[in-house]
Structure 1
Amino acid sequence: MASDLPAGLTSQDVLDELAQVNSSAGFASSVRHRKFLTFVVEETLAGRASRIKAYTIATAAFGRSDDFDPQQDSIVRIEAGRLRRALEHYYLTAGATDRVRIVIPKGTYVPNFERVEGGGIEPPLAPPPRAKVPTCRAGRGPRIFVSHLEQEGPDAGFGSFGAGFARQLIMGLTRFDSVQVFGIIEGDGVATHPDLHLLAADYDVDFVLSGTVTFSASGLTIDLLLQELPSGRFVWTERFQRYLIPAELIHLRNEIANQVVQRLAQPYGILHSRALDSEGESPLHIGSYRAVLDYYDFIRTYDRARFADVRRGLERAVAQDPGYAEGLASLSMHYINAVRLKYVDGGEAQGLREAAMGLAIRAVHLAPNSSSAFHALALAQWFALQVEESLSSYRTAMRLNPNDAELTADLSLRLAMRMQWEPAMQLYCEAVTRDPFLFVLYRITAFLYHYSAGRYDAALEEARKAQAPEVIYTHIMRAAAAAELGLEDEARAAVVQLERVDPDYGCHIEEDLRSRNLHEDLIAALGQSLRKAGLSSVGFSARPRSQARERL
């Protein structure tokens, strides 16, 4: 098979690339992706490409039995579509500078191997002139390219649904004069453009809308992704699920398409929100893009083991591209994350708070219409004890981008800490609806809401869902609610974990909670609950706890 490889490429090069892809974040979490890709690559390199069929993939890679029938079970076709998208995402992000690329063309399961000239290094970008101006330039509205929606699952009777859905989206979006819509019509379908970078150059578009349509025995699922160019960031995703009633299929198609169009194109919709989210200067180094992408990936889990690497990447990005507002905002928020999650303490924490404020102010100066910049400023002000100024910056950020689930959840948490329950819970519900996989720490909002009302069973349920062992506040929630319910063993176990993270926390709990702007009544009530749970050295100078209980 080596003779079929591109000039200058060896089988070992391909195997090294396979190992690199399989160890990336997107593949490390998917056993099927790794097994599928490994099987087809190794079979191709061994000269057995003719054996790569749905049956052999299912039995050899997925462990299906010998009676597997590809006509009845579409697992391989579905997984192939997911694998192609995973590879595309990898080569847009972590693998952007890889010297070798593995591609699985549509219509086949046999991979192609490509040698990328200049891969493996990180040269400065040489963008066309327009790359230096913000996405969605002033003077024109957002431009969106509607790509083909891949169709998965049984095709019987539904063969043209995906194409019809894409057409319906195009028709709906064109009704909004402020949005310019593009697509490539081929036969009955809307085609997929082969290359995002060429797409940006050919059509000068700001966004690409793509997705999948999946049919099952009883249901219809449509997954949509909105990608921003030229950064490649996915800025919005949503899943629509409906029971499948064949007689109402066209009605369902039109109903969902109309919902999507309204969500995207209305005056305060996603396209216009992102259009206002100016990033200042675009970075000249591809690593600066990647550093920000790594930060957004980090805040999905707040994995402490990744904190230092993400910090170094952002600091390098800011040094290389000092005019990149989103890089400045991301580093500012990363510093505040280190403080609020107690990754640092003492003098270092104070230094990071001050640095975060300076970075956020610079980001706002460079990009005064960036929601990310104002979000960073809001966080820096919050931890500088500037509560009213912080809430004002949060509201500005929300006006600029009301569809950001992370921002919405963060503001809901700040309002809950100040006992502003109605707006806090409204925003919390909106955020969870948009993104059910928000970081578990945002459950503090719901915990405080139930705890303050004496609904300790509901508060404990929220606390149990907040699985972040290295974050002390998850243990505070669990200990306080369990103590109020008389669950002594669980309360004590939570205190043990709390003291593992910070053995002296009981001595400075009041100072810590005040530094986070928690309402005095909540501080006093939590102190009473934590003493009941067995936390040692809990002492407060606040009002008597009985009075705090009455106020709550």
Structure 2
Amino acid sequence: MHNKLPPEGEYAPPLSRPAPTPDDIRSQLDLIIASPEFPRVGRSAAFLIYVTEETLAGRAKRIKGYTIAVDVFNRNEGFKQDDPVVRIEAGRLRRLLERYYLVAGQNDPIRIDIPKGGYAPSFVWNDKVDDVALPDVTIPLPRRLGFRLPQLMPFGIGAGAMFGVGIVAMSLFAHLLPGRSNALLSAGGPTLVVAPFADLGDGPQAELYSVGLTEELLTVLPRFKEVHVFGREASKSLSPGVPASQVRRELGARFLLAGGVRVSANRVRVTARLVDTGTDRILWSDTYDDDTHIRDLFSIQSDVASKVATAVAQPYGIMAQVDAANPPPGDVGAYTCTLGFYAYRAQLTVDQHSNVRNCLERAVERYPSFSTAWAMLSIIYLDEERFRFNARSGTPTPVERSLSAARRAVRLDAGNTRALQSLMTALFFNQKVAEAFKVGEQALKTNPNDTELLGDFGTRVAQSGQWERGAALLDRALELNPGGGGYYHGMRAFAAYMLHDKRTALIEISQADLQKFPLYHAVAAVIYADADMMDDARREARRFNEMRPDFILNIVAELKSRNFQPADRARLIADIRKAGLPAVNEVEASMVLSTKERPVSLP
């Protein structure tokens, strides 16, 4: 029969076209492996190279789970068929290939796939393309290095290049979340595996709780979009006491979250630890105790998962601190830009602003589907206008660019907290306060433990006149991130000033310490003036005016652009004047404006 399928390992050509030759297939394999859309991490590249070469050598029928486990995954001859490693990796590889051909490989001449039901690849001409010339690929490829893992990818502290280029590719097999693009996966970032929490109790409650806590963590952690969390399938494949080195070797993840649950009578104790899989060093650990007579197990489980996730995964959490202290070397993608963004937000200096803007613009050019990068760029663009940092002239304006970038971030990933934060902020400075707060509330529901969001949303709420609620949100951000940037403390000091809490205002402004940020000195000036510390007030006022001489000349417009209420504007202007700066009040400003606009009488 003409439609009979060829034997496994042979290639069925289209009726009018010869089959791809081995050289054609190897050229296509080179294209895939060299592409940034196919991150070389874990065993994906080794797996694909191995099964392709075995098939081209006429040994397709030999490709079984056992041979792959031994030849690619370095398993010994005692490998058990119930070990899920090959099955998991095959599923991940199929999805990587599918996404590659959706984006980078749309116009490639040949499709290489791993059909379900086996591990032997298929090679067919790409129906979408007639005759597309293959580019000259000169990047050294893993295929030339052999198939054994130690030769392909050396792990350990020196594996920074592997970490930067592709450590997040593993999240593809975990779960393909809506809006999470392959560009994000290529951009770098911390990868985290959650091992099943150990049951350390004697009864069924501990077992039930340990399983429930693991599930809750796998729900809460992915809300922090800068971190890429392996999914349930990967977690269930591990034992509670899995060695960190095994996680690094088999999954390629940078961090391991593990712990245990002990239940005795009405007492519940949870221990949790974060481990660097490259060094086996415990980076963080904590213990949580609770009482089932006071709270039910579900509430305890939810609370503990929230605390653990916030400690390790928030923008200023343990993993971010580790990466900031030991950044990956060289140009490793957009993740370095995100680290730079948070460093900038902690200090708010004009020099950092320029560097981060340039980095993020390169990142979105390379990864146009990276929602988080667009969100960060939106905030950076807005700072050109509100802080007068490296402002670019012309159209669109910084505020317009900010809103455009924020909307793009949300279109790419509607559940991305940073995207929603950027849209909220851009709308606020476009004088769309009600719409901004609607988005802010949505972001808060998406991730109530994101301190970057809490600090920013709290600031906007406070500036609009809701000072008590704004202060509460800022307090929550400081509670979750005591070592957070001075921006949180500065805004909390400002809220205390507006709430006539002089003691808190003085304490918080002393902890802000944003000497290179002009508006810090303005806030300090009014706080000291309100406390009758006039020498300090005049010193801070002079410093502010030196850094932003344009602000006082346009103080009413500046305050209105930030949506301050009339009574709050009047109080701020009065205390700025008390500190020694010649700020005009709104009546005076309106008179000046009226004079400027008065038509000139002709003689």
TM-score, structure 2 as length reference: 0.51
- Which of 290, 312, 323 is equivalent to 2:358? 312
- Counterparts of 2:358 and 2:541, CA distance in 1: 34
Match of 2:453 in 1: 407
1:199 to 244, 251, 276: 251
Which of 134, 145, 154 in structure 1 is aligned with 2:194?
145
SS at match of 1:525: helix
Residue among 312, 322, 328 paired with 2:368: 322
Which residue is equivalent to 2:599?
none
Identity %, equivalent residues = 23
Structure 1 counterpart of 2:437: 391
Counterpart of 1:521 (choices 567, 572, 578) is 567
The structure having more radius of gyration, on CA atoms, is 2
- How many Å apart are 1:315 and its aligned residue? 0.6
Q: 1:115 to 1:145 in 2, by over 3 A?
A: closer
Note if contact 1:418-1:519 (Cα within 8 Å) is conserved in structure 2.
yes
When residues 471 and 119 of structure 1 are mapped into structure 2, their CA distance, relative to the original with a 3 A threshold, is closer
Counterpart for residue 332 of structure 1: 378
Structure 2 CA distance for aligned equivalents of residues 312 and 148 of structure 1: 42
Structure 2 CA distance for aligned equivalents of residues 459 and 539 of structure 1 = 25
Q: Which residue of 2 aligns with 1:430?
A: 476
Q: Which amino acid aligns with 2:172?
A: R
Alignment of 1:126-145 (within 5 A): 127=169, 130=172, 134-135=176-177, 145=194
Q: Which residue of 1 aligns with 2:583?
A: 538
Partner residue of 1:370?
416
The residue that corresponds to 2:402 in the other structure is 356
- Please, which of 512, 518, 534 is the counterpart of residue 472 of structure 1? 518
Q: Is the 8 A contact 2:290 2:300 kept in 1?
A: no
Tell me how far apart the structure 2 counterparts of residues 196 and 399 of structure 1 sit (CA, whole Å): 33
Cα distance in structure 2, aligned partners of 1:485 and 1:349: 43
| Cα deviation, residue 310, structure 1 | 1.7
Distance 1:460 1:221, change over 3 A: farther
Deviation, structure 1 residue 515: 1.3
Equivalent position amino acid for 1:209 in 2: L
Shift in alpha-carbon separation, 1:502–1:263, aligned structure 2, 3 A:
same
- Structure 1 length as normaliser, TM-score? 0.56
User: How many aligned residue pairs are there?
Assistant: 373
Task: Tell me, yes or no, if the aligned pair for 2:216 and 2:301 is still in contact at 8 Å.
Answer: no
1:422-448 deviations in Å (ceiling 9; x for gaps): 322322222111111222222344334
Q: Is the 8 A contact 1:482 1:490 kept in 2?
A: yes
Q: 1:292 to 1:464 in 2, by over 3 A?
A: closer
Q: 1:533 to 1:365 in 2, by over 3 A?
A: same
- Does the CA-based 8 Å contact 2:478-2:488 persist in structure 1? no
2:176 and 2:215 mapped to 1: Cα distance?
25
8 A Cα contact 2:216 2:305, kept in partner: yes
Please tell me the residue identity of whatever aligns with 2:548.
Answer: D
- Residues 179 and 413, structure 2, Cα contact 8 Å, conserved in 1: no
| Residues 494 and 136 of structure 1, relative CA distance in 2, 3 Å threshold | same
Contact 2:273 2:284 in 1 (8 A): yes
Shift of residue 498 of structure 1? 1.0
**CA distance in structure 2 between the aligned counterparts of 1:473 and 1:431, rounded to whole angstroms:** 20
Which of the numbers 521, 533, 547 marks the counterpart of 1:501? 547
Give the Cα separation in 2 of the matches to 1:300 and 1:177: 28
**CA–CA distance in 2 between the matches of 1:122 and 1:240?**
29
Question: Equivalences for 1:59-458 in 2 at 5 Å?
Answer: 127=169, 130=172, 134-135=176-177, 145-146=194-195, 170-173=210-213, 180=232, 181-182=235-236, 184-185=238-239, 189-196=241-248, 198-199=250-251, 208-210=256-258, 224-225=273-274, 240=286, 261-263=301-303, 286-345=332-391, 347=393, 351-458=397-504
> In 2, distance between residues paired with 1:413 and 1:364?
21
Deviation at 1:193, TM superposition (A): 4.4
Deviation at 1:300, TM superposition (A): 3.2
Match of 2:535 in 1: 489
Please state whether the residue corresponding to 2:482 is helix, strand or coil.
coil
Distance 1:314 1:346 in 2: 16
Letter of the 1:130 counterpart: L
| Residue identity opposite 2:457 in structure 1 | L
**Which residue of 1 is the match for residue 14 of structure 2?**
none
Offset at residue 465 of structure 1 (A): 2.3
Shift of residue 475 of structure 1?
A: 1.4
**Larger RCO of the pair (alpha carbons < 8 Å, separation 6+):** 2
The answer to whether the 8 Å contact 1:524/1:540 transfers is yes
Residue 209 of structure 1: SS of its match in structure 2?
Answer: strand
**Gap change, CA 1:350 and 1:463, over 3 Å in 2:** farther
- Alpha-carbon shift at residue 200 of structure 1 (Å): 6.3
Give the 3-state SS of the residue equivalent to 2:334 in structure 1: helix
Structure 1 runs not aligned, ≥5 long: 1-111, 150-159, 213-219, 230-236, 243-248, 275-284, 545-552
Match of 2:96 in 1: none
Report if the CA contact (8 A) 2:194-2:218 is conserved. no
Structure 1 172/459 Cα, relative in aligned 2: closer, same or farther at 3 Å?
A: same
Q: Once structures 1 and 2 are overlaid, which stretch shifts more, 381-390 or 296-305?
A: 296-305
What code does the residue aligned with 2:461 have?
Answer: L
- Secondary structure of 1:385's match? coil
